[in-house]
Structure 1
Amino acid sequence: MGKANRIDRKAMRRMSPLARQLILALRSDPSLSNEALAMMFGISVGRVEAALVEALKRLIEADREPDPIWRRLWPW
């Protein structure tokens, strides 16, 4: 498994359920607007934006964390 996949999985586990659902919806259709996501999930545009900011923070945090020592010693 590549580093990008590990980062995605780690970040997804740390996201709120709403943020995770929004990210998965955007992965399936990247052309969705915040307004469309808000209508799909029955929430406000502000809540969509806040959840997406949280999701991006979790992705950045996961990317910045160093790999555990065992992964550096045994990279497979």
Structure 2
Amino acid sequence: MEAKQWTVDIYITEDGDDTHARAVLRAPDASTVAGRGAARRNPVDRPIPEIGDELAASRALEDLAIRLHDVASEDIVQMAGPAEP
């Protein structure tokens, strides 16, 4: 059985009450797929940066999953070839 490893890096930035995350998947063939996510703290909530990080990162991973699924779907369509009349 062949084992493959794909790496996902998550980059998080904060600006005041806003947190932004970018999840980047790097495959061994040097292709990449990226997803984005964001979170905004309600000003009446206590400032707990970890919660914003978790929400933004989870949303970036969710977006990444959707984009990766789209890539796979496009690959399937290309491999299927033209439709027969």
Question: Could you state the TM-score of these two structures normalised by the residue count of structure 1?
Answer: 0.38
Greater fraction of residues in helix: 1
Larger Rg over CA atoms: 2
Question: Could you state the TM-score of these two structures normalised by the residue count of structure 2?
Answer: 0.35
Greater fraction of residues in strand: 2
Higher relative contact order (CA 8 A, sep 6+): 1
